[in-house]
Amino acid sequence: MTDQRVLLTGATGFIARHIALQLLQQGYRVRGTVRSAAKGEGLLATLAQAGADVSRLEVAEADLTRDAGWQEAANGCDFVCHTASPFPARQPADKLALVPIARDGTLRVVSAAARAGAKRLVVTSSVASITYGHGKERDAVFTGDDWSNVDSPDISAYAVSKTLAERAAWEEAERANLPMVAINPGLVAGPLIGEAAGTSVQLIGMMMRGKLPAVPDIVFGVVDVRDVAAAHVAALTAEGAIGRRFIVSAGSLSMMGIGRAIAEAFPEYRGKVPRFALPDVVVRIAALVVGEARAAIPELGRRKELATEPARAVLGFAPADPREAVAATVRSLRELSRAG
């Protein structure tokens, strides 16, 4: 038992629940932030159901948009793991719409962590902070040295928010002398704990329900949520991690490939999963009338290679097959619908 306390922001989230579970299993105490007391009760109940010793878990109320609660939440914590961030399924048209929540909220967390004297801060960033807005000509492998270009017209509001929030975290942590690590996951799949369903899970759910019969030719780096959580837990104490950004992805899957992974694991979805890859020209025409299709255009046909060796070497990242991660999401969603 380490008995050290970790502040986990956004503890109700899809990824954070797995981080909480693994932290508790490894003997940490966890203080999870939630936006309401009711959400805190739900979190305790679902983690208890997942087999966690919730006597070591406490919840604290704090919202990224407000100062209240963050310092009290951070006080007495040895480590801080900051996962909370808005992750909407639909992208707002205003590219800067999510920045005040993501960046200013992150600054609140970093300042509170520093004032509390935390030993290390681990920030959940994203490949969205690394691979976007570089233009079609960019074909080199993406590493932790790359940053998304927020001034590019080809970048979503979500990617802008993740990039500016992570940049702000590095600057503030350096100013406050707080050791920091960033984890930059690809699209996260895998089993759900409780009913939490982040945006990445919703994409798989839509494919299962036949809502996406045809999809654009877009490829994601996909990774299992359990491997993402393990990387966060390792990053709290791993030697050689401080000051670094770690890409965590298990491998690339196109949207068609995600559909195939669903149908391979559960043949009954064969008639539901995407059946056609839309020709790029069709997506471009659709984008003229359907605003939501616009975000897909810069990604059409792109194959981005992601460097995961640093995460493997420093954090012991040894990811499961991305198709198995997708199948685990489906299994979980089926169990939840049977339970509900």
- Interface mask toward ligand NDP for 105-134; x: CB under 6 A: -------------------x-x--------
Query: Checking DSSP bridges between strand 251-254 and strand 219-224, what pairing results, if any?
Result: antiparallel
Q: Is the dihedral of CA 205, 83, 157, 155 positive or negative?
A: negative
Amino acid identity of residue 241, one-letter, is A
| Residue 52 phi, psi (nearest 5) | -80, 150
| Cα–Cα distance measured from residue 32 to residue 107, given in angstroms and rounded to the nearest whole number | 18
317 binds ligand NDP (CB under 6 A): no
Among residues 7, 8, 14, 323, the one that binds ligand NDP under rule CB under 6 A? 14
Q: Show the tokens assigned to 92.
A: 């707002």
Site string for ligand NDP, 192-231 (x = CB under 6 A): ----x-x-x-------------------------------
Taking CB under 6 A as the criterion, which residues in 175-194 touch ligand NDP?
Answer: 185, 187-188
Residue 119 has φ and ψ, to the nearest 5°, of -80, -30
Report the SS3 class of residue 247: strand
**Residues in binding contact with ligand NDP, number by CB under 6 A:** 26
Least distance from ligand NDP to the Cβ atom of residue 15, Å: 4
Pull the structure tokens for residue 200.
């990445």
Is 95 assigned a catalytic role? no
Q: Do strands 245-248 and 5-9 pair parallel, antiparallel, or not at all (unpaired)?
A: unpaired
Using CA atoms of 269, 270, 273, 276 in order, give the dihedral in degrees to the nearest 10: -170
Point out the catalytic residue in the list 39, 119, 136, 162. Answer: 162
Nearer to ligand NDP, 167 or 275 (CB): 167
227 C-beta neighbours (distance < 10 Å), count: 23
Q: What residues from 150 to 179 belong to the interface with ligand NDP (CB under 6 A)?
A: 162
Q: Exactly one of 84, 208, 235, 278 binds ligand NDP (CB under 6 A); which one? A: 84
* DSSP structural state of residue 185: E
Pick 129 or 270: Cβ nearer ligand NDP: 129
Q: Closest separation between CB of residue 193 and ligand NDP, Å?
A: 11
* Residues identified as active-site: 162
Residues lying near ligand NDP in the complex (CB under 6 A): 10, 12-16, 35, 39, 63-65, 83-87, 101, 124, 126, 162, 185, 187-188, 196, 198, 200
